[in-house]
Amino acid sequence: MPEILEVETARALLDARALDREISAVHAPDAWFLKRGLTPRAALAVLKGQSFTHARRRGKLILVDLSSAGSVPERPGSVLGLHLGMSGRVLVDDQAAGDPLLYASNKPDPAWHRFGVTFADGGTMFLRDPRRLGGVELDPDEDRLGPDAFDLTLAQLRAIVARSRAPVKAVLMDQSRIAGLGNLLCDEILWRAGIDPARLAQDLGDDEVKRLHRAVRDTLRILGRRGGSHTGELTSARGPGLHCPKDGAPLLRRIVGGRTTYSCPLHQI
């Protein structure tokens, strides 16, 4: 499932192959996939004749800047927000970003092209989403998201956990607090930090918060090099009857923060 690492791969593909190409047509067959008031007609009016100038990201939200509006160079263009949801992949000229998804079909079915554009040079950009859980919006409110997980500072993390009595895993997954972390990454981070996912965030000591911050940075760096959120040590052990890769203890399976959670009852305290 796409988490911050997979979304970063999609952003990089857009940045490498979709910029500075004039948009000649818009593909928006699924009005439900357009969010926050965006309509197919409005998407066509904004995008046609423009080009993508920069592909950014905040957490799991891709932000694609458009060229200046109309013939007024000093007027900023709009921003296209792309959400991959749980099964979305970005394709540019039929090249898909990242490794094949583990929990959704990778069949190249055009019926799953929920949104896209055709460039004047004949190329295309599509968001393919079999499960239809992603979305597209125009000029998204970026400030509704917390700091990007890659940029999270220790001071920010201290402040976030200090004011919450929710389980620490729920806090890590709250996109308004920290943007980008999903279920697999949170389980891996807490496993590496040796912290029980159900611990109340406010109860963590300062040494534990430091371990947690270090685990966020290390997990993103290591799994990013390996190829994605599915490459963690704990991920291969997620399943009935499996054991902790660190100490061999039977893993504990629970629902924490509304999500299926695996943790080690021996070293995660």
Q: Which residues are catalytic?
A: 2-3, 60, 259
CA distance 178 to 173: 7
Tell me if 123 sits within 8 A of 21, measured CB to CB: yes
User: Which of 172, 266, 188, 267 is closest to 224 using CA atoms?
Assistant: 188
User: Which of 243, 249, 137, 263 is closest to 196 using CA atoms?
Assistant: 263
Strand partners, 186: none
> CA dihedral defined by 142, 144, 149, 153, rounded to 10 degrees?
100
User: Which of 217, 216, 192 is closest to 267 using CA atoms?
Assistant: 192
How many CA atoms within 13 Å lie on the side-chain side of 260?
Answer: 7
> CA dihedral defined by 175, 181, 183, 185, rounded to 10 degrees?
-170
CA distance 232 to 79: 33
